Structure 1
Amino acid sequence: MNDRKPVDAAAVAIMIVLCAIWGSQQVAIKLVAGAMSPLLQMGLRSGLAGLATLAIVLWRGEGRVINRQTLAPGLAIGLLFGTEFLLAGEALRFTSASHVTIYLYTAPIGAALALGLLRPDERLRAGQWVGIALSFAGVVLAFSGGKEGAGYPDGRLGDALALGGAFGWACTTLVLRNSSLANAPASVTLFYQLMGAFVLCTLAAPVLGETAVSLTAPLLASMAFQVVVVAFLSYLTWYALLRRYSAARLGVLSFMTPMFGVAAGVIVLGDKLDAAFIGGALMILAGIIIVSTADALPARLFKRRFRPAVNS
């Protein structure tokens, strides 16, 4: 039974704000990377936001869901979510925020492909395979500009790390869809993810020699934005929308995020974009939209629905 409302003007307005927030987070991290490494920023923000999420879980009486049944998949998604953050944080050291944002958003394509192959009820239609092929070709094209397009000497390494982060995100989606967490409260799932990212990133930071911190006003402002607005309020707002509106329609709107991310990178950080990256990015986004809008297109094209996975 689906009692969720169709997306209305209020939902669209909220999604625009959320996408602007999510798109700007890589820029906020990159902007103060000289004062604290991106990896350490991601670890600390996840830990603080995780504690706030735990408070919400306990206040709602959902603590009983953190039990033996959800612990194993919870640890798994925590590890995978932490891997995504670790690789994304390291990617920001080597390439632009714009590149990291675009490559991370290839994750829904990977999740769609894996679910289509593993689950009969998620089998992809012919047109969706076209979308996957288009996104893959876009990655190849965008990656061909790599070093020169980002303006970084190790740009291709950073791009590859961002793609690795996307793989971690896609695997997180697979675990969520195929475990007891599929029916768990979203706040509990978010708690597992955030605490996994906190543990993995903060442990990796000293191993990689990235513990130096210089307390500055911009760093404190950025961390406040990341913890309170990005990792806590925006995710809880997203889950509140999912309880009220169609997940598939909201998922399509969420793909405004990379556009906001690229725009913020260019405007705030002066990211350089070459023709190969721009063309590839457009192909990636077009492919994602094709795969994710099966239920919005004529039935003769797609008879099965695919609900896009969105990063929590």
Structure 2
Amino acid sequence: MPDSDRRPHASLRTTGVAFVLVWCTGYIAGALMVAQAAPLTALVWRFGLAALAFGAFAVAAGVAWGDGRARLHSAVTGVLMLALQFGGVYLAFAWGASAGVAALVIGTMPLLVAALAVAGGDERLRASQWGGMALGLAGVALVVADRIDGHTPWPAWLALLGGLVGISVGTLYQKRHASRIDLRAGLALQNAAATLVLLPGAWWLEGLRYADAAGFYLPMLWTVVVNSLGGFALLFVLIQRGAATGVAALFFLMPPVTAVFGVWILGEHLTALKGAGFALAALGVWLATRRATAPV
């Protein structure tokens, strides 16, 4: 492969590593924030502040906000990838789902994205890439096996399935329709749309309940600055430059990397089973993404 071809692939790999590391911190920060606030209220704070920040960046840079169709596509993406995904996950936590159950459900996202992309004619995958997807899912299952219980209520399952559909369909929708607008303007619109969708529930059902304390504000600022401003910027750069299935496969690494962060930050134990799951997930991502950097 010529050097000119290697450089874009190396850049995508570097961006992918940065995305995984940044995204995984959000699970810990989000859990800390939800412990101090109602789930939808926490998301209204996060997405509302992120919308203001991205909007300020877009105005300061004087970027174009696109036509009405482009703005509508960005809003739909925000409802799917932000409001539906995170609303489902945060509500599931509030309704009794464990972190292991949530990670396992959302961890199937790469398989659903791949199936939808193939069915829609967006991409074609080889047998080795399907095998990589299966290995990645098996790795996720090993990592979260000790956190799965049999007491998750059915509303929590439904909420997680809603979150899974949101991020899966949203990834493909972003790739197909919402990548033709400036990143700053698009993310401002997406976060604003998510805020508007979640605000009625946060207001009427939760009374915008949150603790006026550092235990809420510090993780909330982390989710805004690091996860929303940094994580979603990296995610949408990856979606714009790579195949949707290749980007989705990175989510197999989320539970293992989050488990490592849990060892450092929360004092959790990294068992041999989790280590094996980490290795299996990494192998699955390598198989699923090594030739999946561009759609067919």
TM-score, length-scaled by structure 2: 0.76
* Pairing 1:218–2:219 present: no
**For the residues of structure 2 that align with 1:11 and 1:161, how far apart are their CA atoms?**
32
Give 1:88's aligned amino acid: V
**For the residues of structure 1 that align with 2:153 and 2:242, how far apart are their CA atoms?**
35
Q: How does 1:292-303 map to 2 (within 5 A)?
A: 292-295=289-292
**For the residues of structure 2 that align with 1:151 and 1:271, how far apart are their CA atoms?**
18
State the shift of 1:6 in Å: 3.6
Q: Compare 127-136 and 19-28 and name the one that shifted more.
A: 127-136
Deviation digits for residues 117-164 of structure 1 (CA, Å, limit 9, x no counterpart) = 112x5122222333345556678x67995xx73468437764663343
**For the residues of structure 2 that align with 1:43 and 1:161, how far apart are their CA atoms?**
18
Deviation digits for residues 54-81 of structure 1 (CA, Å, limit 9, x no counterpart) = 112222322341x312133223212212
Matched-pair identity in %? 24
**For the residues of structure 1 that align with 2:238 and 2:59, how far apart are their CA atoms?**
21
Q: How does 1:133-212 map to 2 (within 5 A)?
A: 133-134=134-135, 149-150=147-148, 153-154=151-152, 158=156, 161-179=159-177, 181-209=178-206, 211-212=208-209
Cα pair 2:78 2:189 within 8 Å, conserved: yes
Cα pair 1:295 1:306 within 8 Å, conserved: yes
What is the aligned partner in structure 1 of residue 118 from structure 2?
116
SS of 1:63's equivalent in the other structure is coil
**For the residues of structure 1 that align with 2:17 and 2:73, how far apart are their CA atoms?**
32
Give 1:169's aligned amino acid: I
**For the residues of structure 1 that align with 2:48 and 2:200, how far apart are their CA atoms?**
12
SS of 2:7's equivalent in the other structure is coil
Q: Against the structure 1 CA distance between its residues 233 and 294, is the aligned structure 2 distance closer, same or farther, given a 3 Å change threshold?
A: closer
Q: Compare 231-240 and 121-130 and name the one that shifted more.
A: 231-240
TM-score, length-scaled by structure 1: 0.72
State the shift of 1:46 in Å: 0.7
Deviation digits for residues 250-308 of structure 1 (CA, Å, limit 9, x no counterpart) = 94777644322222345545679999998878766654543222258xxxxxxxx559x
What is the aligned partner in structure 2 of residue 261 from structure 1?
258
Q: How does 1:59-78 map to 2 (within 5 A)?
A: 59-65=60-66, 67-78=67-78
**For the residues of structure 2 that align with 1:26 and 1:144, how far apart are their CA atoms?**
14
State the shift of 1:221 in Å: 0.9
State the shift of 1:219 in Å: 1.1
Instruction: Could you tell me which runs of 5 or more consecutive residues in structure 1 were left unpaired when the two chains were aligned.
Output: 297-304, 308-312
State the shift of 1:188 in Å: 2.7
Give 2:34's aligned amino acid: A
Q: Compare 126-135 and 73-82 and name the one that shifted more.
A: 126-135
SS of 2:53's equivalent in the other structure is helix
Cα pair 1:84 1:166 within 8 Å, conserved: yes
**For the residues of structure 1 that align with 2:34 and 2:98, how far apart are their CA atoms?**
12
Q: Against the structure 1 CA distance between its residues 64 and 205, is the aligned structure 2 distance closer, same or farther, given a 3 Å change threshold?
A: closer
Q: Against the structure 1 CA distance between its residues 216 and 272, is the aligned structure 2 distance closer, same or farther, given a 3 Å change threshold?
A: same
Cα pair 2:41 2:209 within 8 Å, conserved: no
Q: Compare 226-235 and 261-270 and name the one that shifted more.
A: 261-270
Q: Compare 225-234 and 49-58 and name the one that shifted more.
A: 225-234
Q: Against the structure 1 CA distance between its residues 24 and 282, is the aligned structure 2 distance closer, same or farther, given a 3 Å change threshold?
A: same
State the shift of 1:195 in Å: 1.5
State the shift of 1:237 in Å: 5.5
Instruction: Could you tell me which runs of 5 or more consecutive residues in structure 2 were left unpaired when the two chains were aligned.
Output: none
How many corresponding residue pairs?
289
**For the residues of structure 1 that align with 2:144 and 2:155, how far apart are their CA atoms?**
12
**For the residues of structure 2 that align with 1:271 and 1:116, how far apart are their CA atoms?**
39
**For the residues of structure 2 that align with 1:166 and 1:19, how far apart are their CA atoms?**
18
What is the aligned partner in structure 1 of residue 39 from structure 2?
38
Q: Against the structure 1 CA distance between its residues 75 and 253, is the aligned structure 2 distance closer, same or farther, given a 3 Å change threshold?
A: closer
**For the residues of structure 2 that align with 1:58 and 1:152, how far apart are their CA atoms?**
50
Give 2:54's aligned amino acid: T
User: Alignment RMSD, CA only?
Assistant: 4.2
